[in-house]
Amino acid sequence: MKRFLLIWCFPGLLTGILLGLIIGTMQDLPQITALEEYRPSALTRVFSSDGILLAQFYAENRMPVASDQIPDILKQALIATEDRNFYSHHGMDPKGILRAVVRNLQSGGYSEGASTLTQQLAKTLFLSPDKTLMRKIREAFLALQIERRYTKEEILTLYLNQIYLGSGSYGVEAATRRYFGKSVDDISLAEAALIAGLPKAPSRFSPRSSMERATGRRNTVLHQMHTTGIISSDQLKAALEEAVILTTGHAPSSRKAPWFIEQVRMELEEALTPDILYKSGLNVYTSLNSRVQDLAEKAVQTHMAALETRMLDQKITAFPQSAVLALDIHTGGVLAQVGGRNYAQSPFDRSTQARRQPGSAFKPLIFALAIEKGAEQDQNISDTPVVFPQSRGQNWIPQNFSRNFMGNISLRTSLALSRNIPPIRLTDQLGPENVVAFAKSLGIQSPLQANLSLALGTSEVTLEELTAAYAVFPAGGMHNQPWRIRKVEDASGRIIYTSPRKSSSVMHPESAAIITDMLQAVIAEGTGRRAKASDRALGGKTGTTDNFRDGLFIGFSPAMAIGVWTGCDRNESLGNMETGARTALPIWKDIMVETGPAARPEYFSIPAGTERRQMESGNMGLFRKQSR
């Protein structure tokens, strides 16, 4: 009898529990009629370190479009990549759920979701992004309600008008205007595929964030469309070959420091999620110094216009560009950032994204390693002809820029005069692989070729990497990773985010002080003489690449490091004898001189283990103290 009652009662009990769970879950579900009323709100304000309002971030005002204004090819692209069974399921896709479970089990983690477009719409508007079982259950119930109330075409139109698509764009009309400068009904197949690929990870796949990732994601969508029979092989081929052309007319909400602001925007989108960034009314306090930024922008405009005139005099019609990055020596905070001459015309950031050959501006890293290994700056090295055997019986015979030789000269003189042969010999003695390892310890993350031509700056790096590496020297051997966001406060004043601060000791303080002294000699005695500014303590190095394609000057005061690059985007020559000393150094000097001495003492630190001594040349130099 007991067994009989148990058999009959257990299903009823289980059913009651499930009904209770369903009722409890559905009791506080939001009303789906709010779909038509949803609007983003509460803008975020971004400030410089000296309190200047730089920009405002907000969820863009949507530009709702009717279903017949959205091209079928965009709808098909979205369905092919996000929800292939959209027209056959009722809000949930059992096959998709099973497929996701299998793949997640195979990967041993959460590698694939199973949300339909309807579920994504419910989550976007009503639920948190937390990956919890209760949230998934609520999402499923909401999806079923939406499917009962709206047609498939209405759901798809709501989704395409509401979904976040990166770079502050909500909805497909705002996104196509943001990226391509055109209405959604004017986009091509390739552009539709790019837009359809964004919902998976809007910040990561935005072409404003990474053109390489955006193009790769677009191509994945195109292949999926071909696999599902939406497009033909000829259409696939043509779309894959179509270049992504971004509009140049849309800048951030403020014209102030636009490249810096975009870096801040991307970092916060990744760290906080777009919902929080664009809707929560945050106050963002950054490292940027508005005065240094204004001086950098002015100097770039002035000297690039002069360079352009000189190039035209030489019948060179290429358009010269420039980039500037200024860092706080002691913290790594970015004080100024200029990624080009005009953000509206070219938003590409040449200060952080462009990899270019640094030329002779790389040489200080080699001399720094030699000093770190025990060399002294008055130590002689041969500046004489040398032959290095290469593969297939070939020889490499490097030359100095001046095409002459000076015989035995000191390390100090060879760096100050930017001789080529001595750093090549040093690289050979130290080992190219050791030079690469040392450069990476200074923060160079770009791939470097471990060969002797590394001494001539043939491996490409970013301006930010090189400037941060130079900052190690006056910072006493400390490498400070560049950062931009001092703190982010929510509407109640609570700090919810700061940029990661990474500092590490990568050189002995004595070695760092000696290479700093040697770089002061570049300005006092060598190729950087034009950088002299009264009695200020300054150090730096010029850089010029073959055929005058790039001109650089990287230098520092005791408080600030500034890197300047000049060149053309298509690698054309800047003109005969347009060296870094002529193109980049004047920009650097305008900024450095106008900022004047900082609050910190205007002299470089001299560690207790060093002393000043007179060299054979008669100049005073910094050396390690001799043991007595």
For the purposes of burial, counting CB atoms within 10 Å of the CB of 229, is it exposed (0-12), middle (13-18) or buried (19 or more)? exposed
Token pair in block for residue 253 = 């909400």
The pair phi, psi for residue 198, each rounded to 5°, is: -75, -35
Residue of 48, 60, 82, 173 with catalytic role = 82
Token pair in block for residue 50 = 């000296």
Residue with tokens 């998934």: 136
Q: What is the DSSP letter of 361?
A: G
C-alpha–C-alpha distance, residues 548 and 360, integer Å? 12
SS3 content of the chain, % helix, strand, coil (to 5): 45, 15, 40
Answer for the pair 506, 476: CB distance below 8 angstroms, yes or no.
no
Dihedral angle sign, alpha carbons of residues 616, 620, 622, 625: positive
Residue of 115, 360, 418, 557 with catalytic role = 360
Task: Return the C-alpha torsion angle 255, 260, 262, 267, nearest 10.
Answer: -150
Strands 44-47 and 283-286: what pairing? parallel
Answer for the pair 409, 383: CB distance below 8 angstroms, yes or no.
yes
Task: Return the C-alpha torsion angle 121, 122, 127, 129, nearest 10.
Answer: -40
Distances (CA, A) of 132 to 23, 67, 99, 138: 19, 33, 19, 10
Distances (CA, A) of 322 to 32, 82, 93, 453, 536: 52, 41, 52, 25, 25
The sheet with strand 485-489 has its strands ordered as 53-57, 44-47, 283-286, 485-489, 495-497
Answer for the pair 597, 536: CB distance below 8 angstroms, yes or no.
yes
Identify whether 82 is a catalytic site residue: yes
Identify whether 360 is a catalytic site residue: yes
Residues known to be catalytic = 82, 360
